[in-house]
Amino acid sequence: MMCTPLPRLCWPCREPDDVLDYAFDVSAALADVTDSVTSASVSIMPSGPGELAVSELSVAGGVATFWLSGGVAGRAYAVRIEVSTGGGRTFEWLPGVAVDPALATYPVPPPPDPGFGPALAWGPFASLDFSAVVNSGLFPLL
């Protein structure tokens, strides 16, 4: 049996100054089960200063929405979307987005980091800041 690869998911070209929201519907992956999204994250490849950046991730129902800004003209990016569910399922998608090559100055410089940058996370504990928690020594931290 031979597997046919699925077509690559891509968003339309963007411009370097764009700050746009992108929505990704993950509900089809959950259609046959009674499960819900409990955490999500988005990261970008390549990464580093001046590259495409992600901000403001949220999930409502089965739709993950996040904002992308910046990027280098002429560069194609992979956006890694990872979703976990209450039932223990994990899904990953890698749609692409390019910054308009018509605006590029050639040669396009290499990225600072060719790999994925830090992920922006959404979930029950993603926005909690535990940096001020101090252990008095009387109680163990769990």
The domain ranges of the chain are 19-122
CATH 1.20.120 describes domain 19-122: no
Give the Cα separation of 48 and 116 in Å (integer): 9
Residue 127: pLDDT above 60?
Answer: no
Phi then psi for residue 141, to 5 deg, are: -80, 130
Q: pTM for the whole thing?
A: 0.82
- DSSP annotation of 43 reads E
Q: How confident is the model at residue 2 (pLDDT cuts 50, 70, 90)?
A: low
Count of all residues that appear for the chain in the document: 142
Rounded to whole angstroms, the Cα distance separating 111 from 45 reads 9
Q: Please tell me the predicted confidence (pLDDT) of residue 36.
A: 86
